[in-house]
């Protein structure tokens, strides 16, 4: 069983910096891993992944020297188990609104006696014969608080055993609050999440999206942070070059 170095960084109070991969192509995920990100998120909620490609992407991320994380499509026992069976060592579950829903995540994500995950690894079998005994210690299980109601219940949600951290969804939270990112109201909500996580010994985090936001929320105490994404980097790089050469098209 390999060591989840991203999880251990967060346990030490250090930032574990991640990046999103949603294009459904394993090779770009491997390239992102090779840059030096602590974890690469194979996004099964908003990304273009199927089961086979997800497994290949987890392999690619490991080959690139990073830790494969994933976001489940929903808070579903079988959807969560499938992604872990295929080799994810980090899990994010979206739209968790209550402590009971967080308990469902924890139950689905860990083997007994800590949870109720079914034994039957697919791609994860590459982790070796001690996978079943070490997995519960190495997996990082996170939920997303993404609404006004979830923030109001943050203390109860983050108190749930088996949840290691929160990766707040700032865009959906902004929609729920009716206030944009970086507004006073939005910042106050994020700080409530951070306070709840730190109170219960969990890693506070956010889908920051860019350097400025990563720096802002790292300074506020977040350790579970993601920067950009495969799609975003392609667009930014392409736009920068196109703008530099635009004079040739006049």
Kindly list the catalytic residues.
46
How many Å apart are CA 161 and CA 87, to the nearest integer? 23
CB 131 within 8 A of CB 1: yes
Hey, what are 103's tokens?
A: 């308990």
Residue in this structure with the two tokens 């390999």, named with its chain if needed? 2
CA within 13 Å, CB half, 245: 6
Q: Verify cis geometry, omega within 30 degrees of 0, for the bond prior to 37.
A: no
Nearest to 173 by CA among 155, 154, 200: 154
């Amino acid at each position: 069983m390999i060591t989840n170095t991203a999880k251990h960084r967060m346990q030490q109070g250090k930032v574990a910096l991640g990046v999103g991969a949603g294009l459904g192509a394993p090779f770009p995920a491997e390239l992102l891993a090779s840059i030096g990100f602590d974890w690469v998120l194979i996004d099964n909620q908003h990304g273009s992944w199927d089961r086979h490609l997800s497994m290949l992407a987890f392999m690619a991320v490991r080959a690139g020297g990073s830790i494969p994380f994933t976001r489940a499509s929903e808070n579903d026992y079988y959807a969560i188990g499938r992604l872990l069976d295929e080799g994810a060592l980090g899990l994010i579950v979206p739209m968790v609104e209550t402590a009971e829903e967080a308990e469902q995540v924890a139950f689905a994500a860990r083997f007994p006696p800590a949870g109720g995950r079914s034994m039957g690894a697919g791609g994860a079998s590459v982790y070796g014969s001690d996978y079943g005994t070490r997995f519960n210690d190495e997996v990082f299980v996170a939920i997303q608080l993404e609404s006004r109601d979830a923030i109001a219940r943050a203390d109860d949600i983050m108190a749930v055993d088996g949840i290691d951290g929160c990766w707040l969804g700032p865009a959906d939270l902004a929609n729920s609050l009716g206030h944009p990112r970086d507004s006073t109201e939005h910042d106050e909500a994020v700080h409530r999440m951070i306070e709840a996580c730190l109170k219960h010994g969990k890693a506070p985090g956010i889908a920051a999206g860019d350097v400025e936001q990563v720096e802002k929320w790292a300074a506020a105490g977040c350790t579970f942070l993601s920067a950009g994404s495969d799609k975003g980097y392609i667009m930014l790089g392409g736009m920068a070059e196109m703008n530099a050469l635009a004079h040739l098209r006049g």
